[in-house]
Structure 1
Amino acid sequence: MEEELASSRSATHGGTTLKECQRMIHKSLQSPTVKSLREHMDKAGCPVRDNFFMAVNCNQGTAGGYIQGEGIVVCSDQIGSQDEVNQVIMHELIHAFDDCRAANLDWLNCAHHACSEIRANHLSGDCHYKRELLRGFWKVKGHEQECIKRRAMTSVSYNPSCSGAAAAKEAVEAVWDVCYNDTEPFERAP
């Protein structure tokens, strides 16, 4: 469900080939955090095999996405580095984990979508201060929470059932406390 635009990345990096992107996905799957998350999903009854991850040309401004019932796509034409692939994989795996653990998760429900976006941005490290600096955002205090809210609102605003900044902001604010503090399956945010 990664929807935050990656146009600055693609303009800077120009993307990679499908083969190179698939190689980076395979390398990302060796990460201890990714392995741990996959193990938790397996224990929850949602095994995630290597073919769950696909390199594709998206021809749009997204870095990747989770497609319910199908898997995770990484947009090779928008990705320029191993770090970006790692971030997409972690972010989207959090969505897949949320989908697995919640029997009634409805991606068209603004609150459900907002909660998963908050968790994915928080638990994947998307809002680490170094990443924010590279995006042109800099703030000494409170940067992480502002980033998580901003990125979650952007993603939710693209949801056809929640379109518009006001609806996205309302959904994010309504679930913020519960979802920000939900670090499952980790003991704390990595």
Structure 2
Amino acid sequence: MAEEHDEKSPPFVVPGGKAVEECEDMIRRSLRHPTVKFLKEHLEKAGCAVGDNFIKAVHCHEQISGGFVRGTGIKVCSNHMTIQDEVNQVVIHELIHAYDECRAANLNWANCAHHACSEIRAGHLSGDCHYKRELLRGFMKMRGHEQDCVRRRVMKSVIANPYCSEAAAKDAMEAVWDVCYNDTQPFDRAP
């Protein structure tokens, strides 16, 4: 998901984007966020320890905020981060993917339905689509904004999966929507 910077080409940088070292400090601060602590605790309860190097800041070539990579951990794209809240959101979103990976014995990221389900859960449970964030993105719809936002963001992510065409991504999202949107584990209800 997140591509590390190589020496050949400069990374894409958001105006005000952070250096890797600065982003590492922001990640350390995010580890004190109550939702991050809750998710880490539940990952460990599920048998998946989160070590010191599980969440890393990197420069990314793609226009993404971060990503979860099976067997590696979470990458936060420092050159796309400008404020602490963005780092917190990326870490929470990606920890939900890590939790899904941990609890599902057969999760296959190449399977469009599996990927869509985890994106639905991460979008719904992370706060990515809180109406204030949507207003800042320029989406002014007040009724039904959260589900529209989750659908929009799921499509963007699943279409980026090389195994999923736009049609396959849409079909997969619709097929798993109800089950995955209503699955709030490890939370009792959507935060």
1:44 aligned to which of 46, 50, 58: 46
Matches within 5 A, 1:92-107: 92-107=94-109
Q: How does 1:29-178 map to 2 (within 5 A)?
A: 29-163=31-165, 165-178=166-179
Deviation at 1:140, TM superposition (A): 1.1
Are the aligned partners of 1:154 and 1:168 in contact in 2 as well (CA < 8 Å)?
no
Query: What is the aligned partner in structure 1 of residue 9 from structure 2?
Result: none
d(CA) in 2 for partners of 1:73 and 1:123?
A: 19
Work out the CA distance in 2 between the residues paired with 1:88 and 1:25: 10
Distance 1:62 1:149 in 2: 17
Q: Secondary structure at the match of 1:72?
A: strand
Could you tell me which amino acid in structure 2 is paired with residue 100 of structure 1? Answer: C
AA aligned opposite 2:190? A
Give the distance between the partners of 2:160 and 2:59, measured in 1 at CA: 20
DSSP 3-state at the match of 1:16: coil
TM-score normalised by length of structure 1:
0.92
Deviant stretches of 4+, over 6 Å: none
1:54 maps to a residue whose letter is: K
Q: Kindly state the Cα deviation for residue 50 of structure 1 after the two structures are TM-superposed.
A: 2.5
**CA RMSD after TM alignment:** 1.2
In 1, distance between residues paired with 2:188 and 2:61?
37
Q: How many residues align?
A: 181
Instruction: Write 1 or 2 for the structure with the bigger share of helix.
Output: 1
Counterpart in 1 of 2:8? none
Q: Distance in 2 between matches of 1:108 and 1:140?
A: 34
CA distance in 1, matches of 2:115, 2:42: 21
Structure 2: 5+ residue stretches without partners: 3-12
Q: Which residue type is aligned with residue 64 of structure 1?
A: G
Could you tell me which runs of 5 or more consecutive residues in structure 1 were left unpaired when the two chains were aligned. 3-9
8 Å CA contact 1:17, 1:76 repeated in 2? yes
